Amino acid sequence: MITLSPDCRYFLYREPININKSFYKLAAIVKEQIGTDPLSRDVFMFLNNRRNQIKLLVWQGDGFAIFHKRLEAGTFELPVFLHDQRHVVITYSQLVLILQGISLQKVHYRKRYGQQTSVR
């Protein structure tokens, strides 16, 4: 079971992938393309070319776990990337909005106290 929490970091990989990639091929992308340790317990997200499937990869201490979701209609929305970014770190709230199909561009965040700023 994958446990998602606001305490994790969420890396969204920009390039579309073959969604049939296995645990270790996704971990290789994390290490080589994102430049992060796949064993860090961070959550790594990958989308297919049509953006109707998403995979989340996370190390759970004794092995990798994958969450895979395929939409029957519609697509997952990507947050705004800078031109040369291969990945972006998003917040837990943004991940939930992406998975629920809520437009990130139309969400209005109300002012809250927090030590870390929201990534957009």
Please report the pLDDT score of residue 48 as a whole number.
95
In a domain, 21, yes or no: yes
In a domain, 105, yes or no: no
Domain of residue 86 covers: 10-100
* Phi and psi angles of residue 28, each rounded to the nearest 5 degrees, phi first: -65, -40
Give this prediction's pTM. Answer: 0.83
Query: Over the range 68-78, which residues count as b (16 or more CB within 10 Å of their CB) and which as e?
Result: eeeeeeeebee
In a domain, 22, yes or no: yes
Domain total of the chain? 1
In a domain, 108, yes or no: no
Residues 86 and 107: their CA atoms lie apart, in Å, by 24
Report the candidate in 87, 5, 80 with the shortest Cα–Cα distance to residue 42: 5
Please report the pLDDT score of residue 45 as a whole number.
95
In a domain, 49, yes or no: yes
Question: What tens-digit pLDDT sequence spans the chain (120 residues)?
Answer: 677 888 889 999 989 999 999 999 999 999 999 999 999 989 999 999 999 999 999 999 899 999 999 999 999 988 877 778 889 999 898 898 888 887 777 766 667 776 655 554
Please report the pLDDT score of residue 110 as a whole number.
66
Please report the pLDDT score of residue 18 as a whole number.
95
In a domain, 59, yes or no: yes
In a domain, 50, yes or no: yes
In a domain, 113, yes or no: no
